Chain A
């Protein structure tokens, strides 16, 4: 699949701004040791503030929806709050993306508990207030849906590894298994869409879960998450197709065996465990070479690992990515 050079498929604008970004990263990389692409330092390239301001407060009475930057590190603008909160794949409500927001208005996100257990030394049940004690920050990530559309979203949250450090995974733990709330009263799709094996389950390999990009998001645009986006807490794994970023999490287990996700169970030949964004490995029924950025006409070339190659490519060294799709 190497017939096209990457410089040919990447639009020039994107390519150049990426180079600019890399150049500017060189200047700040001394202080930003591990995390490169998406921390406050990356925002600095966009809004030219070299000292990252304090992250916005998590209170619901926070004023208007705001983000600290207006573009991602590649120079592409954020999608609007309106778009992000009204175009949702959340089959627990409905398979109609534009009806999720309406059906989700009465979803109860409080009280809420997340049980973290399995192969850990310190199993713990977190309330939402407990989870808010983790120091949160804004992360601007591209979200690439397996259906070949994408958005740029200013999430707000904390890296998963901080949570995992608290519960102390045992050495036998090889994977992390996540589970969404199972509640047929609140999730009408769990009642009507009997095709799927509810509840929604997703998983990550331990090293993927420990990667600093892997985010537990509790907000976006500086406000608490709305139910349609996976309130009160969801996973965001920006280098993987959107379905990996499981919403409204109630359970996190550390396990020894690779978990079977809902999509793996529904269509194993189409949705694998890894689901890394990869323009060279097509979905059996459609191409993944391009994507439609919501708000744009035409298409743009999709990029390897959704543009997070530097941060995550090493996780898959020696793996056949077309076999491990």
Chain B
């Protein structure tokens, strides 16, 4: 971490402050007893959902730039991804430490064979990997492979939504909203769609290389 790089855009400041708000609100609600009768479930759901939303926001940066020529958002990809990883870690810690109370036999017997848990674990592992290699140093070291590696973030986005869908009863619509957003974000990256969307949104701006 170089000290000279503390040159934050307003959007970055908003991101850094905003990303802590769900945690602050969550801790406040815990303190005030506002998490309802099933505190563990509520805390697990909230942290998971926050991680998912931050991940989707991180995924949205690139399309927002391509469609609206809004370069400043590109700087948000890393912090949003890292905050997503932070919430995913809390989510995982609650699951292991509070929900299952470190009872690894139960965790192993009852959960590792369950697809939603496996998918969640894979998603978390991807975020961990991407988090570790998110620094400039790793970017340099991995060269071209860095970009390839970090494409896994799309997979993480898809798996996170699948993890959520497999957790709820049929007909519960909330996860499908997120699935729709992921689908949209991915479709927007497909070349023909991208071209078409740009032509609609930026009719007069000549194409740049």
Nearest CB on B from A302, distance (A): 10
Residues of chain B at interface, number, CB under 8 A = 26
Nearest CB on A from B163, distance (A): 11
B68 at interface (Cβ–Cβ under 8 A)? no
Evaluate whether A298 and B36 lie within 8 angstroms (CB atoms) in the complex, with A287-B110, A292-B41 already known. no
Q: Are A266 and B171 in contact (CB under 8 A)?
A: yes
State in angstroms the CA–CA spacing of A266 and B100 once bound together. Answer: 30
State in angstroms the CA–CA spacing of A97 and B37 once bound together. Answer: 10
Q: In the complex, which residues 116-137 of chain B have their Cβ closer than 8 Å to any Cβ of chain A?
A: 116
Nearest CB on B from A223, distance (A): 18
Q: Are B170 and A299 in contact (CB under 8 A)?
A: no
B2 at interface (Cβ–Cβ under 8 A)? no
Residues of chain A at interface, number, CB under 8 A = 29
25 A-B pairs (CB sep. < 8 Å) = A82-B37, A83-B37, A87-B36, A91-B171, A95-B172, A95-B173, A97-B38, A98-B42, A147-B169, A149-B41, A193-B171, A193-B173, A195-B171, A195-B173, A266-B169, A266-B171, A267-B170, A286-B114, A287-B114, A289-B109, A289-B110, A294-B38, A298-B100, A299-B101, A299-B106
Of A83, A282, A285, most buried by chain B (CB within 10 Å of CB) is A285
- Complex interface: chain B residues within 8 A of A195 (CB): 170-171, 173
The total number of A-B Cβ pairs within 8 Å is 71
Evaluate whether A286 and B116 lie within 8 angstroms (CB atoms) in the complex, with A195-B170, A195-B171, A298-B101 already known. yes
- Complex interface: chain B residues within 8 A of A91 (CB): 171
- Complex interface: chain A residues within 8 A of B167 (CB): 285-286
Nearest CB on A from B133, distance (A): 32
State in angstroms the CA–CA spacing of A87 and B35 once bound together. Answer: 11
Evaluate whether A297 and B98 lie within 8 angstroms (CB atoms) in the complex, with A147-B169, A267-B170 already known. yes
A166 at interface (Cβ–Cβ under 8 A)? no
Q: In the complex, which residues 158-175 of chain B have their Cβ closer than 8 Å to any Cβ of chain A?
A: 166-167, 169-174
Of B37, B99, B173, most buried by chain A (CB within 10 Å of CB) is B37
Of B42, B106, B166, B171, most buried by chain A (CB within 10 Å of CB) is B171
State in angstroms the CA–CA spacing of A87 and B36 once bound together. Answer: 8
Q: Which residue of A83, A193, A267, A298 is within 8 Å of B99 (Cβ)?
A: A298
Q: Which residue of A267, A286, A289 is within 8 Å of B106 (Cβ)?
A: A289
State in angstroms the CA–CA spacing of A282 and B117 once bound together. Answer: 14
- Complex interface: chain B residues within 8 A of A95 (CB): 169, 171-174
Q: Are A87 and B106 in contact (CB under 8 A)?
A: no
A186 at interface (Cβ–Cβ under 8 A)? no
Q: In the complex, which residues 260-294 of chain A have their Cβ closer than 8 Å to any Cβ of chain B?
A: 266-267, 270, 282, 285-287, 289-290, 292, 294
A86-B36, A86-B37, A299-B106 known, 10 other contacts, Cβ within 8 Å:
A83-B37, A95-B172, A98-B36, A149-B38, A195-B171, A195-B173, A266-B169, A287-B110, A289-B106, A299-B101
A295 at interface (Cβ–Cβ under 8 A)? yes
Q: Which residue of A79, A83, A86, A292 is within 8 Å of B40 (Cβ)?
A: A292
- Complex interface: chain B residues within 8 A of A87 (CB): 36-38
Nearest CB on B from A281, distance (A): 13
Q: Are B37 and A295 in contact (CB under 8 A)?
A: yes
A15 at interface (Cβ–Cβ under 8 A)? no
Q: In the complex, which residues 183-203 of chain A have their Cβ closer than 8 Å to any Cβ of chain B?
A: 193, 195-196
- Complex interface: chain B residues within 8 A of A97 (CB): 36, 38
Q: Are A287 and B101 in contact (CB under 8 A)?
A: no
B189 at interface (Cβ–Cβ under 8 A)? no
State in angstroms the CA–CA spacing of A310 and B114 once bound together. Answer: 31
- Complex interface: chain A residues within 8 A of B116 (CB): 285-286
State in angstroms the CA–CA spacing of A97 and B50 once bound together. Answer: 19
Identify the 5 closest CB pairs spanning chains A and B, nearest first. Answer: A298-B101, A287-B110, A195-B171, A83-B37, A87-B37
- Complex interface: chain B residues within 8 A of A267 (CB): 169-170
State in angstroms the CA–CA spacing of A295 and B36 once bound together. Answer: 10
Q: Are B170 and A270 in contact (CB under 8 A)?
A: yes
Q: In the complex, which residues 129-161 of chain A have their Cβ closer than 8 Å to any Cβ of chain B?
A: 147, 149
User: Nearest CB to that of A149 among chain B residues?
Assistant: B38
State in angstroms the CA–CA spacing of A149 and B40 once bound together. Answer: 11
Of A267, A270, A295, A299, most buried by chain B (CB within 10 Å of CB) is A299
Q: Are A290 and B171 in contact (CB under 8 A)?
A: no
Q: Are B38 and A297 in contact (CB under 8 A)?
A: no
- Complex interface: chain B residues within 8 A of A196 (CB): 171
State in angstroms the CA–CA spacing of A98 and B39 once bound together. Answer: 11
B71 at interface (Cβ–Cβ under 8 A)? no
